[in-house]
C-alpha cells in the first residue's frame, strides 16, 4: 500500500491506495494535482534521511507528503 499524507493546521489526513489498482492510482493522481494546484508542496521519502520535492505524480512512491505553503506575518 502507498500513502499520501496531507498536512494541515489540525494535523494530517492519510489516504492509502493500492499502486496495482488502476482506479485507486487515478484517484491518487487526481488528489496529487488538486493539492499541488492549491499550493501544497509534495515530497517523497527516497531513503533514510532522504526526502525530495516532486512536481509530478509518482505512482511508485510509497509515501508522499503534502504540506501547505507557509503563511507569515
Give the model confidence (pLDDT) of 32-54 as tens digits: 999 999 999 999 988 888 999 99
Question: Is residue 29 pLDDT above 80, yes or no?
Answer: yes
Q: Residue 41's CB: how many other CB atoms inside 10 A?
A: 16
- Residue 42's contacts (CB-CB under 8 Å, 6 or more residues apart) are 32, 35, 36, 53, 54, 55, 64, 65, 66
Phi then psi for residue 27, to 5 deg, are -65, -40
pTM, to two decimals = 0.89
* Burial class for 24, CB neighbours closer than 10 Å (0-12, 13-18, 19+): middle
Question: What is the C-alpha separation between 39 and 50, in angstroms, rounded?
Answer: 23
Assign domain 2-67 to its CATH architecture: Roll (3.10)
The per-residue pLDDT for 70 is 76
Domain ranges for the chain: 2-67
pLDDT tens-digit series, residues 1-19: 999 999 988 899 999 999 9
Amino acid at each position: 500500500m502507498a500513502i499520501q499524507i496531507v498536512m494541515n493546521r489540525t494535523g494530517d489526513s492519510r489516504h492509502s491506495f493500492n499502486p496495482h489498482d488502476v482506479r485507486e492510482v487515478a484517484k491518487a493522481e487526481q488528489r496529487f494535482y488538486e493539492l499541488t494546484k492549491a499550493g501544497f508542496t509534495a515530497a517523497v521519502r527516497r531513503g533514510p534521511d532522504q526526502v525530495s520535492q516532486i512536481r509530478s505524480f509518482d505512482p511508485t512512491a510509497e509515501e508522499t507528503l503534502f504540506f501547505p505553503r507557509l503563511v507569515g506575518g
